[in-house]
């Protein structure tokens, strides 16, 4: 048998994939590792001197690829721990957004403004909003929902944004700056 990547794929790919899948539970990651294994095989198959060691060699490559995968994942976790999602830059961005939206919130009718400030800025649950405002839970939900709609419309009008078919803002639609920002 000639040592080629194609022959190795035909003879071992399903076994190697099963080997990888028992150690990597996310199917897409296992498939990516399988591809990486066969790229490594392709790049080095000419260096293998003993054909009878082909299977052991392939599974050693697979094992090393799995180890590399976990090392990479652990580094990503370490980086995430060092730079958590809610880092200083995100806090600054959140504050800039609040500063931009605050004039729009202040322009809302009082009953909606109070509900939005309590639910969105003070991050109270709608049940707590209802208690603070002395209204029913359904009344609080209604005020928050209507306030959000009014706020969204103010944002669209101010910044000249458009919505896609799902009611979401189209990213990068307008290069104009919002007059409040």
Q: Which of 82, 107, 135 is the last residue of a domain?
A: 82
Asked, for residue 111, whether it belongs to a domain, the answer is yes
Q: What is the pLDDT of residues 65-110, one digit of tens each?
A: 999 888 888 776 665 555 555 556 666 766 766 777 788 888 999 9
CATH number of 58's domain: 1.10.1740.10
* Cα–Cα dist 29/35, whole Å: 10
Q: Which domain holds residue 38?
A: 5-82
- Do 78 and 14 fall into the same domain? yes
CB count within 10 Å of CB 157 equals 10
Domain boundary among 82, 109, 124: 82
pLDDT category of residue 15 using cuts at 50, 70 and 90: very high
* C-alpha distances in Å from residue 148, one per residue of 29, 74, 95, 105, 138: 40, 40, 18, 9, 15
Question: How far apart are alpha carbons 166 and 94 in whole angstroms?
Answer: 24
DSSP, residue by residue, 101-115: HHHHHHTS-HHHHHH
Number of domains in the chain: 2
Q: What is the pLDDT of residue 175?
A: 39
Percent helix, percent strand, percent coil in the chain, to nearest 5:
75, 0, 25
Determine contact, residues 51/1, Cβ cutoff 8 Å. yes
Cα 102 to Cα 29, 65, 148, 162, distances in angstroms: 44, 51, 13, 21
**pTM of the prediction?**
0.44
- 38 and 106 belong to one structural domain: no
Mean pLDDT, rounded, of the chain: 81
DSSP conformational letter for 86: S
Each residue's pLDDT tens digit, 136-151: 999 999 999 999 999 8
């Amino acid at each position: 048998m000639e040592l080629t990547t194609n022959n190795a794929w035909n003879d071992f790919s399903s076994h190697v994939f099963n080997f990888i899948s028992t150690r990597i539970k996310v199917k897409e990651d296992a498939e990516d590792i399988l591809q990486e294994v066969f790229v490594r095989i392709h790049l080095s198959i000419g260096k293998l001197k003993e054909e009878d060691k082909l299977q052991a060699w392939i599974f050693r490559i697979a094992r090393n690829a799995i180890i590399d995968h976990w090392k990479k994942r652990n580094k990503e976790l370490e980086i995430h721990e060092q730079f958590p999602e809610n880092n200083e830059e995100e806090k600054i961005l959140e504050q800039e957004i609040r500063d931009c939206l605050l004039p729009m919130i202040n322009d809302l009718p009082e009953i909606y403004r109070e509900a939005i400030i309590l639910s969105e800025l003070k991050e109270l649950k709608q049940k707590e909003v209802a208690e603070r405002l002395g209204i029913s839970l359904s009344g609080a939900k209604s005020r928050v929902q209507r306030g959000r709609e009014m706020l969204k419309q103010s944002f669209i009008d101010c910044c000249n944004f458009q919505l896609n078919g799902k009611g979401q803002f189209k990213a990068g639609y307008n290069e104009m700056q919002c007059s409040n920002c």
